[in-house]
Amino acid sequence: MAEKLKKILKNYLQGTNFKEINDTITLEKIWKETVGNPINKNTKIISFKNKILTIKASSPVWRNELSLQKNFILEKIQKKITQTKINEIKLI
């Protein structure tokens, strides 16, 4: 019985939905570590699909600031995260 339950849980936790949730949590943590508190407080991860990380900025000023740093931030994130590939950061 325990082995059957273990197998069911393993299959459930390896499902697509859990992977997406886990990737998002990991990305949120790495985003905060990479950009620091001021930027983190003024941004929110909206989605991660097709290797594109979509970030919402709290204002046009923050969106402009991020657009200037976007490539640098992307490189830093790519170095920190290996299991999830991010090719682009989209700012909205």
Output the domain CATH number for residue 24: 3.30.300.180
pLDDT of residue 6: 73
d(CA 70, CA 53): 11
Task: List CB contacts of 63: < 8 A, sequence separation 6 or more.
Answer: 57, 91, 92
pLDDT of residue 5: 73
Structural domains counted in the chain: 1
Q: How far is CA 89 from CA 4, 23, 43, 64, in A?
A: 42, 15, 12, 13
The residue-averaged pLDDT of 2-24 equals 67
**Position with higher pLDDT, 36 vs 12:** 36
pTM of the predicted structure, to 2 decimals = 0.75
Summarised one tens digit per residue, pLDDT across range 22-81 is: 777 788 889 999 999 999 999 999 988 888 999 999 999 999 999 999 999 999 999 988
Domain that holds residue 23: 2-91
pLDDT of residue 39: 95
For residue 63 the two structure tokens come to: 């969106």
